Amino acid sequence: MTTQVPLIYSFPGFEGVADAVADHIITAQNNTLYNTLDKAAIAGLKLAAALRPSLLQMPSSASIHGHSRSNSGGLANGEGSRRTPKLKKRSELRFKIAISGGSLIKILHQGLLSRQAEVEWDRWDVYFADERMVPFDSPDSNYAQAKQMIFDLIEGDKKPNVYHIDELLISDPQECADAYEKLLIDNFAKKDSVKLPMFNLLLLGCAPDGHIALLFPNHGEQLREDLAWCMPVSNAPLGPENRITLSIPVICHAQRVAFVVEGLTKAPIMRIIMERPEKGLPSSIVNEGAAGKVSWFVDDDALNDCYDITKKKYNLMTFGDRPVSAILWEHVSSCCKFHSPVVARRAAWPWSMNQITYVT
């Protein structure tokens, strides 16, 4: 195994990790839904959509074709032809995220719920990277924990789509894994050519024994699985012994993978992961297989035993040196000037939708 160095962001405590993870998630969300991180531009797009919904339509690159050519290499009928491009509404795009359980849920509770104004919950599709074969009223259920600490606390009526296992199948891990894989196929594989689902972001923790999702270091057959999307797990060393997990190829195929680790109990395993990748721990396999797409968000305690690593400074999303109000007003004015018959009048800042009045 070659050595691939992921991005490692370290913070003094739990709160710093939670804030950065939430920021990373919102960054991935905005990149997916708007292809920009500029909050003012996003606000402008939303305003433009309210004024003229067709502005959120964009050509689908896969449906725009060049000139049609004859077999002889010339232009068909002597002229170029172009198919009418299909328009795909930005509002139809979805942010597809998979999460694990354990302490990660507490991190998400701390970080995301304090920034709900920036989270577009109703455009999220939430999946689980792993699950225990227990009823949903059990504290061991990842879905139950996430529901109690995140989904039930979402403000307003806009909620995410949450895709959990079939509770009726928890007595049969293989059948449950097959059913969850079928759900993934139905939601991701619109075409037969799709070999793996592609999550926009996949969030994982890492246990003191080195397992991620429910892929354990000593379960070599599962670590080598390259066909299944979802697999049953039997004889787990701790807690409920029957579980299901996403496979390594699915994890590595995500657009972004983020590990979230905190606490002194994780320090010994973090040293092995970061300094001894040849040991082949599951997270080391992901560092290699998803090279260039992996980030680690850890507290200083978890890196207590690591000496030969380079930490990165995480910069929260900012607007640089310019005031938010000035940038936002430029976007609002531009949208209104060029795309709508109405004129926006600036009211007091900071920005909110209630502070723009429209004059016909």
The predicted-structure confidence for 243-287, as pLDDT tens digits, reads as follows: 999 999 999 999 999 999 999 999 999 999 998 888 889 999 899
Q: How many CB atoms lie within 10 A of CB 222?
A: 18
* pLDDT at residue 216 in the model: 81
Amino acid at 335: C
Decide if 358 contacts 343 (C-beta within 8 A).
Answer: yes
Closest among 63, 135, 8, 44 to 338, alpha carbons compared: 44
Mean pLDDT, to the nearest integer, of 39-56?
75
Residue with tokens 């619109």: 190
Contact 213, 130 (CB under 8 A): yes
Residue 192 is predicted with a pLDDT of 66
Q: Which two tokens stand for residue 287?
A: 């560092």
Range with the poorest average pLDDT among 18-22, 85-89, 228-232, 254-258: 85-89
CA distances 30 to 24, 40, 193, 312, Å, are: 10, 12, 27, 22
> Is residue 157 classed as helix, strand or coil in its secondary structure?
coil
Torsion of CA 42, 43, 47, 52, to 10 degrees: -10
Q: How many helices (H) and strands (E) does the chain have?
A: 10, 14
Average pLDDT of the chain is: 79
Angle CA 88–91–92, to nearest 5: 60
Residue 187: what pLDDT? 94
Q: What is the pLDDT of residues 60-71, one digit of tens each?
A: 333 223 333 333
From residue 53, give the alpha-carbon distance in Å to each of 60, 90, 124, 336.
17, 10, 20, 13
Report which of 183, 199, 213, 99 is spatially closest to residue 149, judged by C-alpha positions. 99
Q: Are 305 and 268 in contact (CB under 8 A)?
A: yes
User: Greater confidence, 38 or 125?
Assistant: 125
* Secondary structure string (H, E, C) spanning 256-279: CEEEEECCHHHHHHHHHHHHCHHH
CATH of 7-36+92-303, one of 3.90.950.20, 3.40.50.1360, 3.90.105.10, 3.90.870.10: 3.40.50.1360
Count CB atoms within 10 A of the CB of residue 197.
22
259, β-bridge pairs: 204, 296
Q: Where are the domains of the chain?
A: 7-36+92-303
Give me the amino acid identity at 245. T
* 236 has a pLDDT exceeding 50: yes
Amino acid 54: pLDDT: 53
For the ranges 207-216, 257-266, 311-320, the lowest mean pLDDT is seen at: 311-320
In 3D space, the residue among 40, 222, 241 whose CA is nearest the CA of residue 133 turns out to be 241
Mean pLDDT, range 353-360, rounded to an integer: 31
Beta strands per DSSP E along the chain:
7-11, 57-59, 87-89, 95-99, 124-128, 130-132, 161-162, 201-204, 230-233, 243-246, 257-261, 294-299, 343-346, 356-359
- For the question of whether the overall pTM of this predicted structure is more than 0.85, the answer is no
Torsion angles phi and psi, residue 120, rounded to 5 = -95, 75
User: From edge to edge, which strands make up the β-sheet containing 230-233?
Assistant: 130-132, 243-246, 230-233
The whole-number average pLDDT for the span 90-99 is 88
pLDDT-derived band at 351, boundaries 50, 70, 90: very low
DSSP state of 194: -
Contacts of 253 (CB under 8 A, 6+ apart): 196, 197, 198, 199, 290
